[in-house]
Amino acid sequence: MREVAVIGIGMTEFGELWNRSFRDLVAEAGMHAILDAGIEGDEIDAMYIGGMSSGRFIGQEHVGSLAVEVAGLEDLHIPSIRVEAACASGGVAMHQGYLAVASGMYDIVVVGGAEKMTDVVGAEATNILASAADREWESFFGATFPGLYAMMARYHMKKYGTTPEQLASVAVKNHYNGSLNPKAQFKRRISIEDVLRSPMVAEPLHLLDCSPITDGAAATILAPLDIAKKYTDKIVKIRASALATDTLSLHGRKSFDSVPAAYHAAQRAYKMADLQPKDIDLAEVHDCFTIAEIMAIEDLGFFERGEGGKATEEGRTAIDGEIPINTSGGLKSKGHPVGATGVAQINEIVMQLRGEAGERQVKDARIGLTHNVGGSGGTAVVHILEVI
């Protein structure tokens, strides 16, 4: 298979974008990525669009075709495919785009992700998101994602002594990082006390332990390594693209203090890239809830099991820490338009590796990792990128 590089990135701001439609967001993110790559529209060979539930959020399935029309590329009749894996849809779209280029079937491939979540009321958004859990045995009986992740948090706390303050420290760090990101939904800094005083959503998770409902889109442009050299001299290579699954239901899992699919995706990615956790300079991880970031940095091998909370509290995952996590602000502060999230993670890592991350730039960032999870862990995708 061929080596693959990211030659362009683009995204909208993330937030409650009531004056912009789904197609506005798709167009804007795609246009930024095309301009960044310096390609022409008619050089595009195929598109992959990650989206979780546009059918329910805005009454629109078939968004692969929509993206072609929005981009004005209908006369090319190029393949354009939506892929879905709940909140990992963007990461899975990246995996498919990678495969499409690596295989030799397509050269220039656009990978996009988009979700317009604020056109429904809040309770309905939670209900729609619950369609990523097991409908028959979880969401039908009232389980929602705050509830499912709260159970994981309780288990982690009991087993390892993880504290509410340690959970809160994830949110505090990510809000700080988000305050340095012009595209973030929440740019205000918060304290441990702010988190602990915020309303309880599902014990032990407070409101400020949860990522928000967000509108947004992100896009990347992929190309084979040799073609990439024509467009840019700061090439970011995809060293690994790995995907793993597990049971849809949380109750079916063998483990509740980790996300086994993420662990397995990471192991495959490290093997594919011939790298170890210590080789990674920074990572964007799937902090849909604060406990999720703690499990992520353990699943990825950055810290021992049960050490993630303490490490966060000690600042070891801050921008100037030993392994900066979620410099973008993460899902918690940057926002979580579910289908776009996995692609936006790639955007942040590419900016960092190119040295374009401004105030939140990590020094000497050369190798970055993204970690994107669907549902309570039914799907996980890990990518490793390196600037060459």
Nearest approach, Cβ of residue 130 and its own copies (Å): 8
Q: Is 241 exposed, middle or buried (0-12, 13-18, 19+ CB in 10 A)?
A: buried
Whole-angstrom distance, CA of residue 311 vs CA of residue 293: 11
Q: How far is CA 235 from CA 18, 37, 69, 324, 375, in A?
A: 36, 11, 30, 22, 33
Whole-angstrom distance, CA of residue 10 vs CA of residue 217: 9
Nearest approach, Cβ of residue 138 and its own copies (Å): 10
Q: Which of 87, 175, 210, 371 is catalytic?
A: 87
Binding-site string for its own copies from residue 318 to residue 357, where x marks contact by CB under 8 A and - marks none:
----------------------------------------
Shortest CA distance to 269 belongs to which of 259, 258, 280?
280
State which amino acid sits at residue 334: K
The footprint of its own copies on residues 70-109 (CB under 8 A) is 74-75, 77-86, 92, 95-96, 99-100, 102-105
* Crossing angle of helices 290-299 and 260-273, rounded to 10°: 40
Identify which of residues 198 and 245 has a Cβ nearer to its own copies in the complex.
245
Nearest approach, Cβ of residue 221 and its own copies (Å): 18
How big is the site for its own copies, counted in residues (CB under 8 A)? 64
Nearest approach, Cβ of residue 119 and its own copies (Å): 11
* Residue 315, token pair as written in the block: 């600042």
Q: How far is CA 48 from CA 54, 155, 220, in A?
A: 15, 37, 10
Shortest CA distance to 54 belongs to which of 218, 215, 286, 183?
215
Q: Does 32 bind its own copies (CB under 8 A)?
A: no
**Tokens 């097991």 — which residue?**
134
Identify which of residues 86 and 283 has a Cβ nearer to its own copies in the complex.
86
In terms of residues, how long is the chain? 388
Identify which of residues 104 and 161 has a Cβ nearer to its own copies in the complex.
104
How many Cβ atoms sit within 10 Å of the Cβ of residue 376? 30
Q: Do 239 and 273 form a contact (C-beta atoms < 8 A)?
A: yes
Identify which of residues 152 and 365 has a Cβ nearer to its own copies in the complex.
152
Whole-angstrom distance, CA of residue 36 vs CA of residue 303: 35
Question: Site for its own copies (CB under 8 A): which residue of 10, 23, 114, 214?
Answer: 23
Q: Does 144 bind its own copies (CB under 8 A)?
A: no
Identify which of residues 192 and 225 has a Cβ nearer to its own copies in the complex.
225
The reply to whether 210 belongs to the active site is no
Q: Which of 156, 286, 336, 371 is catalytic?
A: 336
The footprint of its own copies on residues 167-226 (CB under 8 A) is none
Question: Site for its own copies (CB under 8 A): which residue of 378, 382, 385, 387?
Answer: 378
Q: Does 244 bind its own copies (CB under 8 A)?
A: yes
The reply to whether 77 belongs to the active site is no
* Residue 117, token pair as written in the block: 């979540």
Return residues touching its own copies (CB under 8 A). Answer: 1, 21, 23, 52-53, 55-56, 58-62, 64-66, 68-69, 74-75, 77-86, 92, 95-96, 99-100, 102-105, 128, 131-136, 139-140, 243-249, 252, 254, 260-261, 264-265, 374-375, 378-379
Residues tagged active-site: 87, 336
